[in-house]
Amino acid sequence: MTMTGEMLIGGGGVYGKGVAFRAVDPATGREMEPAFGGGTEDEVERACALAWEAFDIFRETGPETRARFLETIARRILDLGDALVERAVAESGLPRSRIEGERGRTVGQLRLFAQVVREGGWLDAHIDRAQPERSPLPRPDLRQRHIALGPVAVFGASNFPLAFSVAGGDTASALAAGCPVVIKAHPAHPGTSELVGRAIQAAVAECRLPDGVFSMLFDSGHAAGTALVADWRIKAVGFTGSRRGGIALMNVAAARREPIPVYAEMSSVNPIFLLPAALETRAETLGKAFAASLTMGAGQFCTNPGLVLAVDGPGLDRFLEAASAALRESAAATMLTPGIHAAYDDGVRRLTARSDVRTVARGQACAGPNQCQAALFATDAAAFLSDPGLQEEVFGSASLVVRCPEVATMRAVAERLEGQLTATVHTDDADADMARQLFPTLERKAGRVLFNGWPTGVEVCHAIVHGGPFPATSDSRTTSVGALAIRRFLRPVCYQDVPAALLPEAVQDGNPLNLWRRVDGDLQGPVGRG
Ligand SMILES: NC(=O)c1ccc[n+]([C@@H]2O[C@H](COP(=O)([O-])OP(=O)(O)OC[C@H]3O[C@@H](n4cnc5c(N)ncnc54)[C@H](O)[C@@H]3O)[C@@H](O)[C@H]2O)c1
Ligand SMILES: O=CCCC(=O)C(=O)O
């Protein structure tokens, strides 16, 4: 498939009339062909109009049609073969093995949502039948199902050019819910975006869905994205990126005549709590494994372990020695964009310059442009507690260790932390009481609480939560990864005394979709399904 630099609007390709830009290979600093035409308000308007036109038809497609559509996207992404992998590697600086793994995750994610759509649990069908004889007042016939919210604007992330981008979790869950998607492609990987976008466009045509089910816009600035979120036809937003970008879009959404939900995943330092007995028994193993998690993918994971808390003493010293030794061996790695690299270097410089923060170790020196040289810092709890600036994420392989005088201080620090995607505890049996005391705080602070593991590497499944209180996300009630993500793009509708001929299938008497439903308070199973 050749790249044209065109945006995809409905079934067609349109070369944007706005400012053109090229992708940059961060490993060489060179610009790549072709030039991508930036979107203007006219093109945003056209994409939103088509999405709105498609909405009522798409949202009422049956579960089987939508599931097949998601599976068709998955197949067409795989059909792109090596061309997709090569372009994604060149645009992101990520190694081939990582991109191949991410492609598998993206395809698996689409297939998971196909299964979710087929099962129909997301419809959440309830029926409370009429009780005309009830006294003192009769009860009307009441039925409830969930429907799609409307067209969704998705902002692809820079750090997962496949799994969190054009056909990533936000797009997959919105399409699964029955929402048309208008994606604002990330300018760091426009070629990858065009390839994947064309695969989705082809799947729309193959499944004979309305053209407006999917559109994709380019813009290296913010105008097209802002106009998209402001458009009255857009009813929700999915975003992964910086805190500043997420908050800017939340403000645009809140200022609309009809405010809409923004599901923004933004910033998290993913604290690691090393409890004393765990440190005592395996400080060296923990130090080495921590360094591996910290440097994975040049640290460009929102789950990167950017903060470590432990009680000061010989166990922590051994941990730091092992982590430092591993970090000193770690090669510098190419970051996603020159901008992200500059932000990393700035963050590291800021920490290095502080008198209350010590540089414990650095990775190997950079050997090429835009490389991340890993950095490990240490401070004490008093300094950390006195300056909220020390909680700020430095996106990349940088982490701060906080030396605490006692376990109670670890808990006090935990209480002061901002919302997080993850919180991790390393324990041994002898730490059980301390872990129990920490637990309620960690549940309040994070979307995922892990024991004796590392936060990088999110499983895509039913039980996962990739979310958390602000600023990890803008809405802690949900997740951007896993089956639950579909709920973000649905809302309940109640049908009161609606004639049988007008009732949607999910709440018709004969249960034609064969769903689990609650009828007059009793959970009733579908025929032939366990
Ligand atoms: N939490 C995460 O998973 C995560 C992932 C990637 C980057 N980041 C952070 O974000 C920084 C920049 O990286 P990035 O370019 O991927 O994120 P970003 O937030 O700058 O951009 C993400 C997307 O949002 C758009 N956007 C940003 N600000 C906007 C605004 N004010 N109005 C309209 N649209 C806007 C961008 O054009 C892009 O499409 C990194 O250095 C890192 O700190 C965090
Ligand atoms: O960067 C955000 C997502 C992180 C992730 O999916 C992972 O750790 O696997």
Q: Which numbered ligand comes closest to the C-alpha of 453?
A: 2
**Confidence category of residue 287, pLDDT binned at 50, 70, 90:** very high
Token reading at 64? 């089987």
Entry pTM: 0.97
**Confidence category of residue 527, pLDDT binned at 50, 70, 90:** confident
Q: What is the pLDDT of residues 251-260, one digit of tens each?
A: 999 999 999 9
Distance 78 CA to ligand 2 centre (A): 21
Distance 267 CA to ligand 2 centre (A): 12
Mean pLDDT of 153-160: 98
Mean pLDDT, rounded, of the chain:
97
Is 370 a pocket residue for ligand 1 (Cβ < 6 Å)?
A: no
Given a cut of 60, is residue 232 above it in pLDDT?
yes
Given a cut of 60, is residue 530 above it in pLDDT?
no
Catalytic residue list = 265, 302
Given a cut of 90, is residue 528 above it in pLDDT?
no
Count other C-beta atoms under 10 Å from residue 523's C-beta: 9
Pocket test for ligand 2, best of 186, 301, 461, 465 (most atoms within 8 A of CB): 301
ipTM for the predicted complex comes to: 0.96
Write down the pLDDT at residue 297: 96
Q: What is the pLDDT of residues 180-225, one digit of tens each?
A: 999 999 999 999 999 999 999 999 999 999 999 999 999 999 999 9
Q: What is the pLDDT of residues 301-354, one digit of tens each?
A: 999 999 999 999 999 999 999 999 999 999 999 999 999 999 999 999 999 999
Cα–Cα separations (whole angstroms), residue 443 to 309, 424, 446, 503: 17, 11, 6, 41
Distance 294 CA to ligand 1 centre (A): 21
Write down the pLDDT at residue 178: 98
Cis peptide before 369 (omega within 30 of 0): no
Q: How far is CA 289 from the centre of its chain?
A: 24
Q: What is the pLDDT of residues 364-377, one digit of tens each?
A: 999 999 999 999 99
Q: For 266, which DSSP code?
A: -
Q: What is the pLDDT of residues 80-135, one digit of tens each?
A: 999 999 999 999 999 999 999 999 999 999 999 999 999 999 999 999 999 999 99
Is 158 a pocket residue for ligand 2 (Cβ < 6 Å)?
A: no
**Confidence category of residue 158, pLDDT binned at 50, 70, 90:** very high
Count other C-beta atoms under 10 Å from residue 349's C-beta: 11
Given a cut of 90, is residue 240 above it in pLDDT?
yes
Q: What is the pLDDT of residues 474-491, one digit of tens each?
A: 999 999 999 999 999 999
Cα–Cα separations (whole angstroms), residue 155 to 147, 211, 215: 23, 20, 12
Q: What is the pLDDT of residues 44-55, one digit of tens each?
A: 999 999 999 999
Count other C-beta atoms under 10 Å from residue 153's C-beta: 32
